[in-house]
Amino acid sequence: MSPRFLHAADIHLGNRQYGSRQRYYDFADTFSHLVDTATEQNVDSVLLAGDIFHRHAVAPETLLQATKQLTRLKQAGIGCYVIEGNHDRPISRRRMSWLQYLADSDLLVLLSAPLIDGAFLLDPWTPETRRGCWIDLADGRRLVGAGYAGANTRRLARRLTDLLAGLPPATHTTLMLHCGIQGTLFSDYPGSISERDLDSLGKHVDYVALGHVHRPFCRNDWMYNPGSTETVSAMEAEWADRGYWIVDVADHSHQATKVRSQRRPFLRLFHRVDSFSSPESLYRSLSELAGEQAMQVRPGSRPAVHLSLTGDLQFDRSLLDLDHLQEVISQPLDALLCQVRDTSEYLVADLLSDARLDRDEMERRVLLHLASRDANRRPSADAWADLTIELKQMALAQADPELIIGELAAYAEREGLVPHSPSIADVAPC
């Protein structure tokens, strides 16, 4: 049988997303499904291209999750080859990482090229030291791996080219890197290099197994990035084909097949608030949105939901009950959780762009604008602005508090806001 391996990255075990205990277990479940796939697909090895853990300080329960699944791979006779991602690295270079601990426990092979005194150490992996940058497998394949190098990634690529040029040829060479490729997501993504920086490796490498960027991609049937196995951030919900590659090897060629990872559904919703004059009308619209989304979600899957409110809010923000809003969204979807991000705005800054306005006119424009944002106050926005300015001037002039209260009460009665005129005793603190 031809060699076959599974390539994955960015597992992020230990991520307690949004503080949810269940989301913490979701990341472990997804890793368990990955091991299931590896055994079902009869792969001979699993390649994990960094960020197995979410944080460098790994909790005992998280370490147990990793140990359990790595033990399953070992018992199935499947080799596991790993590189460190930026999340896996210890705080200090003098400390051992948890991946090094797992390597010393004979649960994985850790490939690394540490930067020591300004130079990358590119030694072969040996069973005695359980350290090294490259390893030749029994079937003639070669695996080369280097962990996250950040700003030194370009230098690392040049050094790996020199290394591979001096080694005897292998039947198939795979290079594992934890870095981004410019143009695939963000051109300035930390630890990214250009495709040109890897061109010199093309003569020596048949398959580049990437991690770090959570968006999946394949370039020139040569560079492969599987994406994150779970949804680490709401933005990733748009990339439905995240998962892992199953790769069949034949000498210097290969056939890669994408497998979508099993993970909890994650909905990223956006809703503009401009057209709603009250919280109740917004709640009704969100309930309808949730009902529509519920028809597209598998029953019983309990999705995680991230809702962004955008646009210009038309009523007082203090009237918006976020707890009730979360319930309105969660109930039709039977959601595990609903995270709300309120990015709606009051566009006051635009009112102040005219340099010809004096301070008093700027102040009045802002007050008019704020009063107009609430649909209930909009018809009397001028009166609200005038009243606010009048009360401010009285306060600055140190007017008797009873007079200020009386002015406010008179306006409230004219507008039908209160049934009687309050006195200072009604509003003074105890």
Q: What is the CATH number of the domain that holds 20?
A: 3.60.21.10
249 shares its domain with 387: no
Q: Kindly state whether residues 366 and 338 are assigned to the same domain.
A: no
pLDDT for res 424: 42
Residue 273: the pLDDT is 93
310 contact partners, CB below 8 Å, separation of at least 6 = 270, 271, 272, 273, 343, 344
- Do both 242 and 355 map to the same domain? no
d(C-alpha 36, C-alpha 41), whole Å: 9
pTM score, two decimals?
0.80
Dihedrals φ, ψ of 61, to 5°?
-65, -35
Cβ–Cβ < 8 Å for 212, 148: yes
One domain, residues 336 and 235: no
Residues whose CB is less than 8 angstroms from the CB of residue 292 and which lie 6 or more positions away in sequence, other chains included: none
Nearest Cα neighbor of 181 from 143, 213, 214 is 213
Low-confidence ranges of the chain (pLDDT < 50): 186-187, 349-350, 419-430
pLDDT digits 0-9 by tens, 210-229: 999 999 999 989 999 999 99
Amino acid at 177: L
- Residues 98 and 87: their CA atoms lie apart, in Å, by 11
pLDDT at 356: 53
Same domain, 35 and 165: yes
Q: pLDDT value at position 299? A: 92
- Gap between the Cα atoms of 293 and 38, Å rounded: 33
Q: Are residues 329 and 408 in the same domain?
A: no
323 with 205, same domain: the answer is no
> Can you name the residues that pair with 48 across neighbouring β-strands?
8, 82
Write out the residue range of the structural domain in which residue 305 sits: 266-342
Q: Are strands 217-219 and 207-211 parallel, antiparallel or unpaired?
A: unpaired
CA distance linking residue 229 with residue 217, whole number of Å: 14
Q: Pairing mode, if any, of strands 266-272 and 304-310?
A: parallel
What is the predicted pLDDT for the residue at 189? 66
End position of a domain, from candidates 327, 342, 357: 342
What residues are paired with 259 via a beta bridge?
Answer: 244
Q: Both 327 and 383 in a single domain?
A: no
d(CA 423, CA 284): 39
How many C-alpha atoms does 27 have within 13 Å on its Cβ side?
Answer: 26
Q: Which of 141, 130, 150, 205 is nearest to 175 (CA)?
A: 205
Last residue of a domain, one of 287, 316, 342: 342
Q: Are 191 and 153 in contact (CB under 8 A)?
A: yes
Following CA atoms 229, 233, 235, 241 in sequence, which dihedral angle do they give, to the nearest 10 degrees?
10
Q: Which of 206, 234, 260 is the last residue of a domain?
A: 260
274 and 402 part of one domain: no
Q: Is the Cα dihedral 55, 61, 64, 69 positive or negative?
A: negative
In terms of domains, do 256 and 272 share one?
no
3-state secondary structure of 65: helix
Residue 322 and residue 386 share a domain: no
Average pLDDT, the chain: 88
Strand partners, 174: 143, 207
Same domain assignment for residues 195 and 283: no
Number of structural domains in the chain: 3
> What is the structure's pLDDT at 215?
92
Q: What would the pLDDT profile of 262-285 be if each residue is shown by its tens digit?
A: 999 999 999 999 899 899 999 999
Count CA atoms closer than 13 A to 336's CA, side-chain side.
22
Question: Alpha-carbon distance 138 to 135, whole Å?
Answer: 10
What integer pLDDT is reported at residue 420 of this predicted model?
45
